Amino acid sequence: MKRISNILPERKEALKAVSLFLILCFALNFAYFKLAGEQIIPRSFTASLIALFLNLFPGLNAEVNGTVVLMNSSSLDVIGECTGIFSIIVYCSVIFAYPTSLRNKSVGLIGIPILYALTLVRLISTALVGVFIPSMLDFFHTYLWQVFLIVFVVLLFLIWRDKVVEVE
């Protein structure tokens, strides 16, 4: 059986990447919340986009009041976690922690708008479920989309690693 002191040197690069990932996650979260505070601008912007897309569906009549999207008999309050910032921070942290060139890392940033677009799809579909199938709202919001977002961040990272980094 190998001793820990023998294993650590063999795993030095992996430990370095994992440590950097954790430090970046913490630092980016801290910086975001220090700078964004109540996050009114990203929350309001996201709410406005949701209402814009919801109004493409006949009869919904979505309106925005600050960070709240009102539609027919239901509403959706866009809180900080709804902006997609956490999945973006995790994705950026893993991209920047991964041992590759700065050029490859910058290509990986293409994932940010993809994650934000997925966040909008998540919120729009959740709002639609809330209006048309309210009994399924908790399942969609709490379970289905949360798991899907985690899986999608991992897949996006793996696609970037396989198509950009490993090509070199």
pLDDT exceeds cutoff 60 at 37: yes
Mean pLDDT of the chain, nearest integer: 89
Mean pLDDT of the region 99-120? 95
Query: What pLDDT does residue 82 have?
Result: 85
What are the domain boundaries of the chain?
Answer: 4-163
pLDDT band at 9 (very low <50, low <70, confident <90, very high): low
pLDDT digits (tens, 9 = 90+) for 43-90: 999 999 999 999 999 888 899 999 999 988 788 899 888 889 999 999
Q: First and final CA of the chain: distance in angstroms?
A: 36
Query: What pLDDT does residue 92 have?
Result: 96
Sheet holding 74-77, edge to edge: 63-65, 68-71, 74-77
pLDDT exceeds cutoff 90 at 4: no
